Structure 1
Amino acid sequence: MTPWLTRTVVRALALGLALAGPLALGAPTAGPAPRPVALEARQTTGQQDAPGTFRAAAPPPMGWASWNSFASSIDLATVKAQVDAFVAAGLPEAGYRYVNLDDGWWQGARDADGEMTVDPVRWPGGMAAVADYIHGKGLKAGIYTDAGRDGCGYYYPTTRPAAPGTGMEGHELQDALRFQRWGFDFLKVDWCGGDAEHLDPERTYRGIAAAVAGATAVTGHPLLLSVCEWGVGRPWNWAAGTAAMWRTGYDIIHWGERPSPGAALANFDRSLHPAAQHTGFVNDPDMLTAGMDGLTDAQNRTQLSLWAIAGAPLLAGNDLTRMTAATRAALTDPEMIAIDQDARGLQGVKVAEDTAGLQVYGKVLSGTGRRAVLLLNRTATTAPVTARWTDLGLTGGPAAVREVWAAADRGAPATGWTANVPAGGSVLLTVTGTEAPGSTYEAEAGTGGAACPSCSGGAAAGPLGDGAALTLTGVGAATAGIALADIAYVNGDPVARTATLRVNGQAPTVVSFPPTGSWSTPGTVSVLLSLAEGAANTLGFDSPSAPGPALDAVLLRPLPGTAGAALVGAGSARCAELPGNAVADDTRAVPADCTGGQNQTFTTGPRGDLVVYGNRCLAALGDGRSDGTPVVIHDCTGAPGRTWTLRPDGTVRNGLSGLCLNDPGRGADEGTPLDLRSCDGTTGQRWELR
């Protein structure tokens, strides 16, 4: 047992004695008032202090969904044919479990009691018969609805007439009960009606989640919730703890279109919100198009590689009755699936782009020193792409390389690996090396009520691990960027406890802490954090509505390839940011208090660009050249309006117009959008990357 976990066990034993009453039995109790506790930071070596018992996160769902191939033209015969082909192809043995009906199964009819009724010709035996057939093959059944009154089949009819009334608004609990009583296990809730009615996404989906939970309390039948509001309400800021998965962008393919590699890349780019994905909550870039007409086998493998490195749901959308042997082999590749389904539950992040369009993504896997690596070539010519071990958070020592699609070992090079990657193609690897050193921040209980120098107001620290709030201050980072956090905890309840994690002033996220078996057994879960440079970062955990887990320590390891810098105004000391972690084209940059968030961390790219989120760039709106042109984000293309020159005088000048990045409010008003202005040497036009 490592020294870290030894201390965790000792504290957990003391905690178990304190909580041997109702908490040990899983009964809800009110936790003590939130209280910050002191911390101690110490440098560790990765091998010595690597946590030993990770608690597996619920993996991203795997299965098949009807929309991409059939749109609204689905009935019982179609579903049965797909289910039979699903089983015959060996998808269940590879881990695929869900068969999901999408839009078009229902035309909106309800009986006098408001219960959904379906066409008996299309669905003989009703929807329960559909679920029964799917269950009879050992699989799970999924179904579809909308958050509004009228669903997508009303606003965007495809192969059937426009159907009003196909949403669940006003029937949330009633429909959730009916879906569960029919036997469905998965519920996708779309946003066409919600969008048309201008509903608030967060409030609406939290209400739906509450209805689903209420129905489950009655039926005892769990229903996995999939939020599908296309990223318009930025669900990566609030959906963790509300739903198992949430869409991050628009449909990857519209009815009547042919799939394209470009659409897959665009949806992948918009799905990268690593701080939100963890412990069973995942970003969803949409259903797969792999295997559909118009894509090559290599393009299919690249899309699967993208989804695997992102830890995305694997929901096939091809017609399984027409699937080729090559598509089947790609969908069922065990090494690709193992990357996607890794128990640590994290998302991959971009760690290098030495040459424009030649990118490296790294995903931290369960175990010690294990990474998945994607070498991606977005250019039009074959080119070498290099992954460096140090960018991935490993040491520069030898690391074993395995090429996934070739199922071949490639030796153990000392510093990195280079592959010639075809134009528009990719190479997927697993790498096993040595973890680089990290820092452990431990909660330290006070003695005899002594003052705690790290606590707010000098408050005394009390007993550790009672489910109260835990605040770690003085958390350091050599550079701004993403760090891997392994959180040691104890949860002797039979169900998961949750805590809200707050980093500096960033958007919070709900982290799930599965049962550890007893109050004397430690566990560890992992998350990715976005930290600011310096020693002023703060990590806070609280569980305001229910007792949280017993938290002990956080082991932080940076991912050096994500290192960036904040763009700080000289006069205001505020940071340029994309408000609310927005990723949409033409979102305006604003000055805001510096938090170290991913939306404030920029890298200087190889095109002369300022890159945020890994694949979005600061740009002059519409290539504007006049004073007052808004500064926004857009795709990184290297076009002059999306490039910048950082001058020694602190100005940041646009490559097209030569105008200066300008804070019109001179820092007086947080949130005043940035623009371009003629360079005048004022403090509102001087910036520092730090």
Structure 2
Amino acid sequence: MRHQAPRSRQLRAAFAALALVVGTMFGVAVAAPAQALGNGLALTPPMGWNDWNSFGCNVSESLVEQTADLIVSSGMKDAGYQYVNIDDCWMSSNRDAGGNLVPDPAKFPDGISGTAAYVHSKGLKLGIYESAGTATCAGYPGSLNHEQADANSFASWGVDYLKYDNCNNQGIPAQTRYTAMRDALAKTGRPIVYSLCNWGQESVWTWGAGVGNLWRTTGDISANFGSMLSNFHNTVGLASSAGPGGWNDPDMLEVGNGMSFTEDRAEMSLWAEMAAPLISGTDLRKATTATLSLYTNKDVIAVDQDSLGKAGREIASSGGADVLAKPLANGDVAVALFNENSSAQTISTSASAIGIGSASSYKLNNLWSHVLTSTSGSISASVPGHGVVLYRVSAGSGSSVGSAHRFLGASSGRCLDVPNGSTTTGTQLDIWDCGTGTNQSFTPTSDKELRVYNGSLCLDASGQGTTAGTKVITWTCNGQTNQQWNLNADGTVTGVQSGLCLDVTGGNVASGNVNGTLIELWGCNGGANQQWSLG
């Protein structure tokens, strides 16, 4: 028996329909915001992992448990990731005699409940997958007309998150099918985050907030820049639909799945700026230090997880140069400068354009390089092709110049280092586990020097070399251009004289990132072994 909707819900639906009709009459697209689901979940965008993009149907209990272990050991749990989500193909091909879903006993010998217990023991939460149709996308039993039985199973197994797909939907309107599962989940009494995966169809962003905690705004993402760009374009204009408890979902993060380091960082930046769910789709068992440096950047995650719950709005877009501004709870504004083009481009905006108010000076905190600069109002950066520069802008001033910093390499997780604390001029720098010694403490000066040992020696391009492979050494400070360095907005450090990048030799492979790997100059190539952040 179908229950009649409460009168308040009927009235909200009527007003929403009226708004859409009136908007259409006057040629204006009106998206009447739906009331939030109100289950107290996903007050910030969910963060976690999903197996599908890397494993497809090759999911198993052991994979899920190994991934849970890695989320903890890699620092991802401490950074905020909590959901370990199982996608399609986890179940048997038929329901049991009572009409219940059956976990595949070969893939999940301890059942979903046993897997959930393991995940919960790690302080994490378990997600599962179903489809709002007669079958899942891979052909396993769907939940259409089985909503309450399946919701009861999920709750009894200890599931904390449901991704609900759209395959084999029999042409039934999405809102009808997705609302049925919403109500079934509510009746179980278990808090379960509800993810609507209807591929951005039927203008889900206009009604999704009253039905689920997040809703897909797009089709499936693929691990290439074009696909990521398309999902960005399909989502960025929907900022007004998102808020605490309900989020636009441009699909999983492909970070670590084959795009360049610059493109991976762009996706991470844009998803955070749009207040999108941060769900990793990579094989964390193979994740490099560089990949994990992107997933665990707490300053970028803080933009995504900001309690104000505002999605960034696109305030400028021209010729493939995009500017997004996201207001934050403490009054700061996160600004993303995104270059869709393949070659570097200077992208600019202003304090007034991002809506931060009036001040005599503004501090720009580059959230990837952690370099601080100040501006009187102009916000500008040279952005690499397919890249993003992400600033946190606040009133006031600040500078990295004049303060001592460690330089952390993205490809290694190790610090720029003068070997063995040597004070001998001509010592070639290397990378080493980060410590507190003065041999890892470098001070940028207003003359663009990088001084070490309280200023007694400078970083130096050996022999004033300007060719790839030139050694980077310490030398007595002399003011020459081979001792001048630019701390660039893209996270590179380049020699003023040579234009070449500070490079961890051979650092684009794991074997090139061990303690003692030497530092040299090399042509800038966007590799993670040329990316540095101040600590």
Query: TM range, normalised to the smaller chain?
Result: 0.5 to 0.7
Do the aligned residues in 1 keep the contact of 2:128 with 2:159 (CA within 8 Å)?
Answer: yes
Do the aligned residues in 1 keep the contact of 2:262 with 2:386 (CA within 8 Å)?
Answer: no
The CA distance in 2 between the partners of 1:214 and 1:111, in whole Å, is 22
Do the aligned residues in 2 keep the contact of 1:403 with 1:428 (CA within 8 Å)?
Answer: yes
Q: TM-score, normalised by structure 2?
A: 0.65
Task: Look up the match of 1:124.
Answer: 109
- From 100, 111, 126, the equivalent of 1:115 is 100
The structure that is strand-richer by fraction is: 1
1:66 corresponds to 2:55? no
Report the Cα offset of residue 318 of structure 1: 0.6
The CA distance in 2 between the partners of 1:386 and 1:29, in whole Å, is 50
Task: Look up the match of 1:392.
Answer: 354
Report the Cα offset of residue 416 of structure 1: 1.8
The CA distance in 2 between the partners of 1:83 and 1:247, in whole Å, is 25
The CA distance in 2 between the partners of 1:311 and 1:29, in whole Å, is 32
1:362 corresponds to 2:325? yes
The CA distance in 2 between the partners of 1:152 and 1:67, in whole Å, is 12
1:163-202 to structure 2, matched below 5 A, reads 163=140, 166-194=141-169, 197-202=170-175
1:203 corresponds to 2:176? yes
The CA distance in 2 between the partners of 1:210 and 1:121, in whole Å, is 32
Report the Cα offset of residue 61 of structure 1: 0.4
**Structure 1: which amino acid aligns with 2:264?**
N
The structure that is helix-richer by fraction is: 2
The CA distance in 1 between the partners of 2:343 and 2:259, in whole Å, is 19
Where does structure 1 differ by over 6 angstroms across 4 or more consecutive aligned residues? none
Do the aligned residues in 2 keep the contact of 1:57 with 1:278 (CA within 8 Å)?
Answer: no
Q: TM-score, normalised by structure 1?
A: 0.51
Task: Look up the match of 2:187.
Answer: 214
Task: Look up the match of 2:302.
Answer: 338
The CA distance in 1 between the partners of 2:159 and 2:221, in whole Å, is 25
The CA distance in 2 between the partners of 1:119 and 1:242, in whole Å, is 30
Do the aligned residues in 1 keep the contact of 2:200 with 2:216 (CA within 8 Å)?
Answer: yes
**Structure 2: which amino acid aligns with 1:326?**
A
Deviations 1:605-662 (A, max 9, x none): xxxxxxxxxxxxxxxxxxxxxxxxxxxxxxxxxxxxxxxxxxxxxxxxxxxxxxxxxx
Report the Cα offset of residue 396 of structure 1: 4.9
The CA distance in 2 between the partners of 1:433 and 1:357, in whole Å, is 29
**Structure 1: which amino acid aligns with 2:165?**
D
Deviations 1:358-397 (A, max 9, x none): 11110111122x1000001112221111121111113353
Do the aligned residues in 1 keep the contact of 2:129 with 2:162 (CA within 8 Å)?
Answer: yes
Do the aligned residues in 2 keep the contact of 1:362 with 1:371 (CA within 8 Å)?
Answer: yes
Task: Look up the match of 1:531.
Answer: none
1:430 corresponds to 2:392? yes
1:227 corresponds to 2:196? yes
Report the Cα offset of residue 241 of structure 1: 2.3
Deviations 1:65-96 (A, max 9, x none): 00011001111122222222222111110100
Pick 1 or 2: higher relative contact order, CA cutoff 8 A, min separation 6: 1
1:277 corresponds to 2:242? yes
Do the aligned residues in 1 keep the contact of 2:42 with 2:213 (CA within 8 Å)?
Answer: no
The CA distance in 2 between the partners of 1:129 and 1:114, in whole Å, is 21
The CA distance in 1 between the partners of 2:82 and 2:94, in whole Å, is 30
Q: Find the residue that maps to 1:82 and give its secondary structure.
A: helix
Do the aligned residues in 2 keep the contact of 1:284 with 1:312 (CA within 8 Å)?
Answer: yes
**Structure 2: which amino acid aligns with 1:175?**
D
- From 119, 128, 131, the equivalent of 1:143 is 128
The CA distance in 2 between the partners of 1:212 and 1:390, in whole Å, is 45
RMSD of Structure 2 on Structure 1 (CA): 2.2
Any unmatched runs of 5+ in structure 2? 1-5, 13-39, 397-535
Report the Cα offset of residue 329 of structure 1: 1.0
Task: Look up the match of 2:210.
Answer: 241
**Structure 2: which amino acid aligns with 1:338?**
A
The CA distance in 1 between the partners of 2:343 and 2:51, in whole Å, is 35
The number of aligned residues is 361
Do the aligned residues in 2 keep the contact of 1:60 with 1:282 (CA within 8 Å)?
Answer: yes
The CA distance in 1 between the partners of 2:93 and 2:172, in whole Å, is 20
Do the aligned residues in 2 keep the contact of 1:288 with 1:317 (CA within 8 Å)?
Answer: yes
Report the Cα offset of residue 280 of structure 1: 2.0
Task: Look up the match of 1:382.
Answer: 344
Task: Look up the match of 2:251.
Answer: 286
1:263 corresponds to 2:227? yes
**Structure 2: which amino acid aligns with 1:178?**
S
Q: Find the residue that maps to 2:322 and give its secondary structure.
A: strand
Task: Look up the match of 2:365.
Answer: 402
The CA distance in 1 between the partners of 2:291 and 2:42, in whole Å, is 28
Do the aligned residues in 2 keep the contact of 1:399 with 1:414 (CA within 8 Å)?
Answer: yes
**Structure 2: which amino acid aligns with 1:122?**
K
The CA distance in 2 between the partners of 1:336 and 1:395, in whole Å, is 23
**Structure 1: which amino acid aligns with 2:158?**
G
